[in-house]
Amino acid sequence: MGTPARVVVLPQATSTLRIEELTLPDPGPTQVVVKQFASGICHSQLHQMHRPRANPVILGHESTGVVLKTGSSVSHVKEGDTVMVTWVPRNASAARQLPVRAELQVSDGIAISENVFTWADHTLADEQYVVKVADTIRKDVTAIIGCAVMTGAGAVINTANVQPGQSVAIFGVGGVGLSAVVGAKVAGANPIIAVDLSDEKLEFAKAFGATHGINAGKEDPIAAIHALTVRNDQFTILQTPVSGVDYAFDCIGIRKTMEQILPACRSGRFGVSDGGTAVLVGVPTTNVELNAIDILLNEKHYIGSIGGSCAPDRDFPTFLEWYEKGKLNLDAMVTARFHIDDINEATQALESGRISGRAIMEF
């Protein structure tokens, strides 16, 4: 017997979302049915909504819920367990086989998901995307750990491995960027420079640990970063004082910011020290042009970070501990809450920049 569900569907021909009442099939051997408490509303879903597609799509990739049914081969969770659903395999190195992607029969065809779908009051997911957590966790705000927190904080602590005293600049301080700010603060970075186009968001970022805010609409962020990070005791190959951050994170993914993070990094000097590292975190929307001379002469690095280089089984307990100890203020980071029936309003608010932190959908 299947499970009744209300599911957000992105049609093939339009970006206007609709709600369908469906019956989820019983789980296959490696699948789990989860009744959901809350789901994050992520900016990357907007990219999906604006891309051409050959079929309807089911969206969402971070949530909290409780297990209703498990497949015959599932052993790490059981019915009644509290879980998080995420789009990153919980332990990819231990996976025995490729995950099974959910496909649902909807009114205009077969709807597919990218790994998982969480914009639904019930979901069907492969066991690799379902992480068991304590029954005592908050069931609403913790939903954003499965993408926003993991992606932003993970980029700092896993991909970059920022160390105490190192300098950091974070371009874009929405939900992912704020999580990167938190990760930098926990890592002991200083300064932590937030870059955005909104004075309100920059001030908001200071509540999470940013030491400085730069409005890129009012001043050149690269020049401002270098002015804040001059090191008069270190010199470049051209015998000028070193300036720039050790790590610059782009949490947006547009061409301008992708090209700004490299020159925002400090220069190195061959034989003495390497240069800073630019980290691409946001989903890119276009190609970029980088200054190869800057990379070569100043020995800089440009790297990517997908999902914060996280292994959810390993990292989610850490982020939950941060929340419990007050290091990660999820209650403040979640600035908007929506019902499933208001999903079009939610995505419009996100696209227009009216969500200062992270939005969630509550069921």
- Give the SS3 label for residue 25: coil
131 and 154 share one domain: no
270 has pLDDT over 90: no
State residue 93's pLDDT score. 83
100 and 238 share one domain: no
49 and 103 share one domain: yes
State residue 286's pLDDT score. 92
**Residue 127 placed within a domain:** yes
CA dist 156 → 114, 120, 356 (Å): 25, 31, 21
**Residue 312 placed within a domain:** no
159 and 81 share one domain: no
State residue 272's pLDDT score. 77
103 and 167 share one domain: no
**Residue 89 placed within a domain:** yes
13-23 residue pLDDT tens: 899 999 999 99
Q: Which residues contact 223 (CB under 8 A, 6 or more apart)?
A: none
Q: Which residues contact 64 (CB under 8 A, 6 or more apart)?
A: 36, 37, 38, 82, 83, 84, 85, 133, 137, 139, 140, 142, 143
38 has pLDDT over 90: yes
State residue 43's pLDDT score. 87
State residue 119's pLDDT score. 98
State residue 185's pLDDT score. 98
1-16 residue pLDDT tens: 899 999 999 999 899 9
334 has pLDDT over 80: yes
180-206 residue pLDDT tens: 999 999 999 999 999 999 999 999 999
267 and 166 share one domain: yes
pLDDT band at 345 (very low <50, low <70, confident <90, very high): very high
Domain count, the chain: 2
State residue 26's pLDDT score. 96
Tokens of residue 72, six digits: 């015959």
**Residue 324 placed within a domain:** no
pLDDT band at 96 (very low <50, low <70, confident <90, very high): confident
Lowest mean pLDDT among 32-41, 50-59, 325-334: 50-59
155 and 302 share one domain: yes
Mean pLDDT confidence for 110-136: 96
State residue 233's pLDDT score. 80
Q: What is the mean pLDDT of the chain?
A: 95
List the CATH number of the domain containing 199: 3.40.50.720
**Residue 263 placed within a domain:** yes
Scored b (16 or more CB within 10 A) or e, 160-187 reads bebeeebbbbbbbbbbbbbbbbbbbbbb
Whole-number Å distance between alpha carbons of 118 and 116: 7
pLDDT band at 94 (very low <50, low <70, confident <90, very high): confident
**Residue 315 placed within a domain:** no
Whole-number Å distance between alpha carbons of 253 and 73: 39
Please answer whether residues 83 and 64 qualify as being in contact, where contact means their C-beta atoms are separated by less than 8 angstroms: yes
151 has pLDDT over 90: yes
pLDDT band at 325 (very low <50, low <70, confident <90, very high): very high
**Residue 225 placed within a domain:** yes
47 and 182 share one domain: no
Whole-number Å distance between alpha carbons of 228 and 247: 14
86 and 176 share one domain: no
Scored b (16 or more CB within 10 A) or e, 133-152 reads beeebebbbbbbbbbbbbbb
State residue 312's pLDDT score. 97
Mean pLDDT confidence for 299-320: 97
**Residue 314 placed within a domain:** no
State residue 335's pLDDT score. 96
pLDDT band at 336 (very low <50, low <70, confident <90, very high): very high
List the CATH number of the domain containing 334: 3.90.180.10
Mean pLDDT confidence for 77-91: 96
Whole-number Å distance between alpha carbons of 83 and 64: 6
Name the nearest CA neighbour of 333 among 344, 316, 319: 319
110 has pLDDT over 90: yes
Highest mean pLDDT among 107-111, 117-121, 294-298: 117-121
221 has pLDDT over 90: yes
Task: Tell whether omega for the bond before 89 is within 30 degrees of 0, i.e. cis.
Answer: no
34 and 172 share one domain: no
State residue 226's pLDDT score. 97
235 has pLDDT over 80: no
219 has pLDDT over 90: yes
State residue 238's pLDDT score. 75
80 and 201 share one domain: no
State residue 100's pLDDT score. 92
Mean pLDDT confidence for 325-341: 97
Name the nearest CA neighbour of 300 among 267, 273, 331: 267
140 and 110 share one domain: yes
Whole-number Å distance between alpha carbons of 242 and 116: 45
Spell out where 59-161 has E strands.
62-70, 82-86, 103-106, 109-113, 122-126, 130-132
Domain membership of residue 259 as a residue range:
149-307
Partners of 31 in beta bridges: 126
